[in-house]
Structure 1
């Protein structure tokens, strides 16, 4: 049997088959959003990620200038949402006080990290031909998922119509080799997978937030409301988060002023002083993802399950993502609803996925 490569969008379960220099769709599933990873298979079954290992020794930053952090007080809240099965049941959770980045990690900050460490993100690392016998070397080009809206109206049951695998897409070139982050230094860094976010956090002397910490901080002390900012999607007739307006995915009316990424701190901060806890980019959390975790989650400082499980892709390790992105709308991926969850394969990246960090309060 001829061996092939599947480029798999880890959250969605669809793939491009690359064997003879041409990409074709081999599998599809509906999804809420998409992230990308690469694996080797002998049949349409996930086996194992085959990314090259980065050998960089990450040493904590001892004085570099990083964004401000705000103190999040200790408290108890009701975690979860009745609108989504994987966010049920709603349950009481108590978290201790901690510090959180006031905004998502920016291109400028990630550049500082890369210059200090020489780190290569997963999307930049070359693939080892030995892991892909029978596949032409010229096809083994690292890249990532890029939102590419269609030219006209399409149905919402096939996300391959707006997600494309782009060779050469990475954090420095978020939409492919011809794109750049120059002039976008204050926008969130994207095309970073979980591994990349953890590496940055370690260098910065921080860590990724737990899912409970993230939701508690996003709620900002509010005890009710469909959204983190209240009950109305557009309070006082003003957009308060960078999300998708119009007919998804092709008819973005850009009512909020941004077709895709917005600079950090563009929209109003929440009561705790945090920006963009909804929209702009999805944010990695430290928790492994399980659909059933809330049934047994500890009430005090939960840190997530010991293993990952998603019935849509039971053999794929995933981590929780929170907050939605500039692609979420009231038509598709309504994950700006308070308590809602996202998920992504550990090595996945896309141009609507970033992160922020937290730190224990001494």
Structure 2
């Protein structure tokens, strides 16, 4: 499998020995509300090869709609301090601020392969990972003069995890991510793999557009970032993890994460190398499973690195829906949405994505082997 080289703006631009770099300047300066600690924030979701930036995908209103609260739990509304909880916090988790949310229904677990298969059978929906990208549409979203990627890149494909044989630099994501033709929700590891016997595993290789389409069919929606964090905390305001404050690798396994040295050594203390069946670990205080680890989960909100700095309103904010637009200074040309919860690839030495306050982001059309979703619904 050829290794992907990626532009800083997040698209596949060349393969193997061919490389291309762009020097990008942020569209506008970011003025932080607190001193920034100079540190490199890296994660299994940091600067990885995004599929392609901001494809426009329509979600038809003609999709059949199923409305049911089966498999969901009611999360009562309330107020809490949203944001950074410990020294691992990244700059975009500051400042900690007060928010309140109304009550809502939430899926007790991530959407499974069986549930997504029912949706596909009912609607004929084809996910983004199963579609060949259109370069004429892609180049409209890129800086003038961006060269066309090679033809063997512009294929229906997605990103799969590949364990390196030895230690590798943690800032070189190409050491453990492969752009694999034929990888999609039905073939999570690429051609030759399938989901037989994995009906209760979380569906993966799901883009934000795919998740929205499923939610629409199910009569639900994606959670806001504030709703997601409130639910993940499980009534434990101020704690670091959904289960409390005990470090992830102390005591019994509490979530599906990476134990050992990422990305080459996994001791599999939690008994799972890749994804785990939903409900494999104890639920949090609200009865929700896998709010930490297993797969990252899409939220409805746009991602802005400086969003929390605009939320310091006296008395807090009621039902925040996120910023009006997207901005990531690392990739200012790409439109991103928030993802939460961490995945089976997260480790304290590299990611700590399973912290309830941890924020991550990805382009709307990105689908990966460790990215899924769950739904919420209003009390109607």
Contact preservation (8 Å) 1:30, 1:159: no
| 8 Å Cα contact 1:36/1:347 also seen in 2 | no
Alignment gaps of 5+ in structure 2: 23-39, 140-146
Deviations 1:59-99 (A, max 9, x none): 24336x88510000011100001522101100111100100
How far apart are 1:236 and its partner, in Å?
7.1
Aligned residues: 343
Q: Does 1:121 align with 2:127?
A: yes
- Offset of residue 156 of structure 1: 1.2
Per the TM alignment, residue 154 of structure 1 is displaced from its structure 2 partner at its CA by 1.5
Say whether 1:59 aligns with 2:25: no
Q: Partner of 1:141 in structure 2?
A: 155
Aligned to 1:72: 75
Task: Report the counterpart of residue 84 of structure 1 in structure 2.
Answer: 90
CA positional deviation for 1:135: 6.8
What is the distance in 2 between the residues matched to 1:56 and 1:106? 22
* Corresponding residue SS for 1:185: coil
- The yes-or-no answer on 1:229 pairing with 2:243 is yes
Q: Following superposition of structure 1 onto structure 2, how do residues 1-362 of structure 1 map, counting pairs within 5 Å? A: 13=9, 16-18=12-14, 24-27=18-21, 31-34=42-45, 36-39=49-52, 49=54, 53=57, 58-62=62-66, 68-82=71-85, 83-128=89-134, 140-234=154-248, 237-297=251-311, 299-362=317-380
Offset at 1:138? 5.6
Deviates more, 1:158-167 or 1:122-131: 122-131
Query: Is the contact made by 1:143 and 1:166 (CA closer than 8 Å) also made in structure 2?
Result: yes
RMSD: 2.7
Task: State the alpha-carbon separation in 2 of the partners of residues 303 and 55 from structure 1.
Answer: 20
TM-score (norm 1): 0.87
- Structure number with the higher strand fraction is 1
What secondary structure, in the 3-state scheme, does the structure 2 residue paired with 1:154 have?
A: coil
Contact kept in structure 2, 1:36 and 1:349, CA below 8 Å:
no
Structure ranking higher on relative contact order (CA contacts 8 Å, 6+ apart): 2
Measured in 2, the distance between the counterparts of 1:9 and 1:347 equals 16
Structure 1's unaligned 5+ residue stretches are 1-6, 40-47
Q: State how far apart, in whole Å, the 2-side matches of 1:261 and 1:67 are.
A: 24
Query: CA shift at 1:128, angstroms?
Result: 3.5
Q: How many Å separate the matches in 2 of 1:294 and 1:135? A: 36
Using the alignment, how far apart are the partners of 1:256 and 1:235 within structure 2?
10
Write the distance in 1 (CA, Å) between the matches of 2:136 and 2:323. Answer: 34
C-alpha change, 1:247 and 1:307, in structure 2 (3 Å) is: same
